[in-house]
A and B are shown apart, each in its own frame.
Chain A
């Protein structure tokens, strides 16, 4: 035991008293095992920022937090090279608790007992990470952000900034007004998750409805010659035009914004 490096714990909770309490309890646990506090974060965004630098082995993650909740944080942190073990904390959440039991996900009920915390922390290294499928099950709502790993850091892209998603060979390109990102997810899954926000204009392309300025007679021609003679989408914020496939021509009429 003594030759193991101390377990580094990151505390994530939006309520200061809850973080204080966890700090006290981790202090108590540190008498029984090698522990170190890697940092504290007051919301999901801070947590993801810290995680890329603080080398945490375990995250104590509050579920109900503003903007990016705990389960979504767990979804994003999977993008890390070496994702930490996740232990959820919650005061009360009937739905999530049932799901945790079903999928044997580790969680602690607030107020947390020191014995339970010690137990969870000592198992943390051995516990298998929570799979993406299980997280999806725990939280059926769409994520508020997309995330990519850029040189070891998790970069969050607010969904409202996404103009379109385009499937390339292995990746999905995420286009915002400022730049592009490569996402390792399937376009079909993204379409399903963000139903209503995007419209499919092509086999390989989803466009944010809000980003559509209008439609133009075929200028853009893609590799399949699909755009030819057909329509293409003119976007807000960027000059790129996207071809509408023949199959999806009906959306031009549905939107009706012909330029």
Chain B
């Protein structure tokens, strides 16, 4: 599955996403309200006009949403122009069908041309809106890639890791090789085009490579606890969600401590939701998290971009632990 909006070509939104559906409902009903307000502003009459309008608009709207959700895969696969043409065609058919079904029930239904015009207008407004929204959000994606290279991996981590590899060269060349391999793999992922969703198993692999390297540097000070039960590795998630959070956990939770600390990762699948919880020790008094907030804002943005309101990320700072909780819809590559 590709991302909802694409910078260069434009793309239709994912009509199976609740957030997108909600946006469409709100916008259409908003337009209806505005139209009703133009006719009258007297409350009782307004209600009457609105009810009359709803009776005509809502059936078309709801049927359209159903059809679009059904045709979503096809719409995503077509190039933008054809997808838009198909969408407009679907809308025309829906409007026409509803006109012939409905005009027996309401004598005030008016001419078929009126239905067409109204449908065309609203469809146009919505396509325009989602196009603009896509454009507004896509710089965030480019930004996200840049940040993957700059802030994601702290320079501090890169140089310390290279230093750790150098320290192994003489005593333990085999281990040095292995760490270099892990580093190379990590950077391959970091420098890839990270706009597509990736399987969770790949993200876990990356997280393990990262933690291996940190383990080498920090030794006993870093303890990692994985808690994974029946977790679907094929769940698709935006890339680089786990690793930056782990990096924060190590940087803010483990490195400032002399005593050993635990970074705990829990992965769960609850029906159609994927739940990720990361926990690390933390001192409330320590000056915290400028870099952290940046990474979190970036991840939140990308989650919103891919999953709209169906995904959430939450931070809970306890007395001595800091927790990040992410909930995402369980999506797989299989259509």
Contact = CB atoms under 8 A, between A and B. Distances in A.
B177 to A, nearest CB: 15
A67 B259 CA distance: 10
Contact of A111 (B163, B256, B258, B287): B163
A66 B219 contact: no
A144 B219 CA distance: 25
Interface in A55-84: 64, 66-67
B258 A67 contact: yes
B170 A24 contact: yes
Interface in A145-165: none
A15 B218 contact: yes
Contact of A24 (B167, B256, B287): B167
Given A16-B219, A17-B164, A18-B164, A92 B159 contact: yes
Grouping DSSP codes into helix (H, G, I), strand (E, B) and loop, the B interface class, with mixed when no group exceeds half, is helix
Grouping DSSP codes into helix (H, G, I), strand (E, B) and loop, the A interface class, with mixed when no group exceeds half, is loop
Contacts of B156: 64, 91-93
A120 B218 CA distance: 27
Chain A interface size, as a band, is 20 to 34
A64 B218 CA distance: 13
A248 interface: no
A116 interface: no
A17 B168 contact: yes
B216 interface: yes
B214 to A, nearest CB: 10
A127 B270 CA distance: 64
Chain B interface size, as a band, is 20 to 34
Interface in A1-32: 14-18, 20-21, 24
A257 interface: no
A21 to B, nearest CB: 4
Contacts of A16: 219
Given A15-B217, A16-B219, A91 B255 contact: no
24 contacts: A14-B255, A15-B164, A15-B217, A16-B219, A17-B163, A17-B167, A17-B216, A17-B217, A21-B163, A21-B166, A21-B167, A24-B167, A43-B258, A45-B258, A67-B256, A67-B257, A91-B155, A91-B159, A91-B163, A92-B155, A92-B156, A110-B159, A111-B162, A111-B166
Given A16-B219, A91-B155, 7 more contacts: A15-B218, A64-B156, A64-B255, A92-B155, A110-B163, A111-B162, A141-B287
Interface of B: 154-156, 158-160, 162-164, 166-168, 170-171, 216-219, 255-258, 287
Interface of A: 14-18, 20-21, 24, 43, 45, 64, 66-67, 91-93, 109-112, 141
